[in-house]
């Protein structure tokens, strides 16, 4: 009986999000930014979207918002899209949840931590911005892992901005093939789409879930 229980636990873990598989760089490998951010503009924005980020950032944010180890989060729980928003009141909404983070900041970075017991502290340093629609930042987590994300006032980046951002993160040493484009077209249309559902075939996953492509 004990063997059966252990095997069952392994199956559950194997079916969840794999954080180790999406780790890319240590913090020491990411060069220091030369921030030119307009803090007055940044502070005036009530809500940011996250149209582009890397897989590690997406995985850890899912864990923070769902308050559980990524290994135990099934693919269905992050489908069909995160619908993530970062709000001026320090709340972050996504995956059908809203969580108030502990956030502090200065002229070059934002330090944040979710309230659940397994959360890691991250320092989001401003790297690249146009001071009108987006800010690209690299995050150093307290376990020395690095990730990146784009905060934007729009749900879809302009093609040139997206190209420039991917070129920049590649220059830092990140893998552009581990970038995740968020699809906000799923958000606000039908709340049922944001509810975890078990589908019958892989084809349905691929049609309905951009996340399935990145986390399979």
CB atoms within 10 A of CB 18: 16
| C-alpha distances out from residue 79 to 19, 51, 198, Å | 17, 15, 10
DSSP H or E run through 120 = none
Tell me the whole-structure pTM to 2 decimals: 0.80
Q: Is 99 helix (H, G, I), strand (E, B) or coil?
A: strand
Q: Which tens digits make up the pLDDT trace of 129-150?
A: 999 999 999 999 999 999 999 9
Asked if 40 contacts 169 with a C-beta cutoff of 8 angstroms, the reply is no
- Domains of the chain in start order, with CATH, are 35-215 (2.40.128.20)
107 vs 209: CA distance, rounded Å:
37
Q: Which tens digits make up the pLDDT trace of 49-90?
A: 999 999 999 999 999 999 999 999 988 888 778 999 999 999
CB atoms within 10 A of CB 140: 21
């Amino acid at each position: 009986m004990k063997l059966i229980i252990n095997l069952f636990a392994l199956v559950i873990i194997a079916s969840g999000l794999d954080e180790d598989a999406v780790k890319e760089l240590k913090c020491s490998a990411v060069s220091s930014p030369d921030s030119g951010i307009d803090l007055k503009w940044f502070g005036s924005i009530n809500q940011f979207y996250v149209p582009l980020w890397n897989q590690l950032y997406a995985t850890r944010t899912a864990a923070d918002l769902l308050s559980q180890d990524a290994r135990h989060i099934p693919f269905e729980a992050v489908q069909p899209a995160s619908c993530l928003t970062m709000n001026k009141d320090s709340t972050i909404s996504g995956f059908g949840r809203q969580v108030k983070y502990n956030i502090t900041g200065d002229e070059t970075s934002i330090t944040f931590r979710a309230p659940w017991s397994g959360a890691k502290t991250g320092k989001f340093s401003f790297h690249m911005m146009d001071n009108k629609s987006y800010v690209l930042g690299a995050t150093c987590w307290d376990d020395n892992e690095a990730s990146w994300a784009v905060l934007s006032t729009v749900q879809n980046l302009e093609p040139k901005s997206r190209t420039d951002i991917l070129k920049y993160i590649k220059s830092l040493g990140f893998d552009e093939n581990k970038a995740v484009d968020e699809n906000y077209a799923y958000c606000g249309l039908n709340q049922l789409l944001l509810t975890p559902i078990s589908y019958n075939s892989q084809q349905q996953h691929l049609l309905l879930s951009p996340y399935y492509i990145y986390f399979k």
